[in-house]
Structure 1
């Protein structure tokens, strides 16, 4: 039976529609013309990411999806069916995704779940003995600790079942929905092109920061800074308003001065200052305080393992713990720190 390069064929068709670079790469040889993809984790970030992936893939390609929440899978399949953007198959387990898909993307909430899902996918070590004989290409977009990510990568490569790339993203739920995410990847140089082609179907930028684990190192450093900037912005805005300054005037001054940062300019914590910010919507949506706290603690843990001193980290983590426990703040965007501090709303 004549074999064709499935991934290259997929990328070639994408190029004709303007959705990918016109670059032919033979990543797999199979007996079918369409490519198979997998996506595991249909949470607040994963659902819109998978939706954008499905919309930009050729219609004849198949996307296998899996999540512990069956309602999320059913809703996704129904939405894709209504828009007629292509084939979707619901997988009962992560293993079923791995058995049927060549390129598999995961977007999961914490290290323990990432480790469990990948163990499920690669055990037993017989993926390349099935219908798809090529090693799998795994892209993990989760934000987890570097050590767990490297353990997962080693388990995949040592078993000869595939390649693993860490690709945490920045841009939040809004960026996931708009397809404007930035991905920071840790990958061997010979996997960068393939990872980039796949990730640009869900985002706008892909930054290669180094070998496996480097993407997470960059993401954790960034989110550590973000978490501290968010607290400092909330304190500064509360300070100026209590001194009698107009909130918009204060924010406008900060945003053309040395205090300018993303929490002040885009995600300002004071309701009404930025109409599109979560603060102006009752702190709904955006980057949840629990996720911000999780990323902050992952960064602190990684820093401690490297013997680094973070004098501001512990104080910030204690504050986020308190905010997360406050009933008026729990489940809100992390800019709700302003509310916790007693800021005027």
Structure 2
């Protein structure tokens, strides 16, 4: 099993002799570049598992290329960020042939607590786009609520104790609380060093908006979230954790 880097030559060396190859790269163009290199260097049949976040169309094009070269392909994007990777609690959403998914499952379960077969190739990416659109909206509305309560003179701990045990709870609060001192391991405790960078959230939101346009789906809140993260990144905050959007909310009156 190999997790490939962005350098194609290094990837070729790392993948030599592997029956299963994992790729995890920032965008579909890089995945295509690395897989093309690997298919040329190692033409023997093998299973390729891409855990990057790319568009549905890109995932399906990659699968077609890999299968045309005599190998097999799964798209298996993840949710959970750096903290989930370190703890082995990632959630994998997998698209591809059932037999290939079952072959890959023991490997994925080493890294994650949840492995869900979502159907055909590209469906993993479809779920990932929807999931991260939800997460972005949650993080923004949580930031708005926490700033509102700050201005109403409510202590953040009291807010957390109530909402984390009430109907307003979410991963954005219970794991990624954007105020220091509430959740151990939250990026807010470390000046918003990224568990999941705002620039990556924006990339995923753009993929979700692309899918919404292609399917003529109304995504009012998703589009608002995409616009807010675009502004946040344009202002130079792309390297911060996406939960740092709370500072943008605080800056607005």
TM-score over 0.5 (shorter chain): yes
Correspondence for 2:3 among 39, 49, 69: 39
- Provide the residue aligned with 1:104 in structure 2: 21
Aligned counterparts of 1:314 and 1:174: Cα–Cα separation in 2: 27
Segments of 5+ residues of structure 1 without an aligned counterpart are 1-36, 42-66, 69-90, 129-134
1:80-100 deviation line (CA, Å, top 9, x unaligned): xxxxxxxxxxx8343444553
What is the SS of the residue equivalent to 1:92?
A: helix
Partner residue of 1:148 out of 47, 51, 58? 58
Superposition map of 1:1-345 within 5 A: 37-41=1-5, 67-68=6-7, 92-123=9-40, 127-128=43-44, 135-160=45-70, 162-327=71-236, 329-342=237-250
Aligned counterparts of 1:252 and 1:335: Cα–Cα separation in 2: 19
* Offset from partner CA, 1:173-199 (integer Å, 9 cap, x none): 011112221211112111121110221
More helix by share: 2
Question: What TM-score comes out, normalization by structure 2 length?
Answer: 0.92
Deviation at 1:38, TM superposition (A): 2.4
For 1:244, what is the secondary structure of its paired residue? coil
Aligned length: 251
For 1:43-98, what per-residue CA distance to the aligned partner results, in whole angstroms no more than 9, with x for missing partners? xxxxxxxxxxxxxxxxxxxxxxxx43xxxxxxxxxxxxxxxxxxxxxx83434445
Maintained 8 Å contact 2:194/2:239: no
Secondary structure of the residue aligned to 1:218 is helix
TM-score normalised according to structure 1 size: 0.69
Q: Cα RMSD (Å) of the superposition?
A: 1.8
Q: Partners in 1 of 2:61 and 2:50 — Cα distance?
A: 13
1:11-63 C-alpha deviation (Å, 9 max, x unpaired): xxxxxxxxxxxxxxxxxxxxxxxxxx32203xxxxxxxxxxxxxxxxxxxxxx
How far the C-alpha of 1:320 sits from its partner, in A, is 0.6
Are 1:39 and 1:104, in contact at CA under 8 Å, matched by a contact in 2? yes
Larger Rg: 1
> Contact 1:99 / 1:127 at 8 angstroms: preserved in 2?
no
Distance 1:151 1:100 in 2: 25
* Mapped partners of 1:196, 1:288: distance in 2: 28
Partner deviation per Cα, 1:86-121 (whole Å, 9 max, x = no partner)? xxxxx8343444553211000111111112111222
Contact 1:98–1:127, Cα closer than 8 Å, also in 2? no
For the residues of structure 2 that align with 1:247 and 1:266, how far apart are their CA atoms?
15
CA distance in 2 between partners of 1:192 and 1:166 (Å): 10
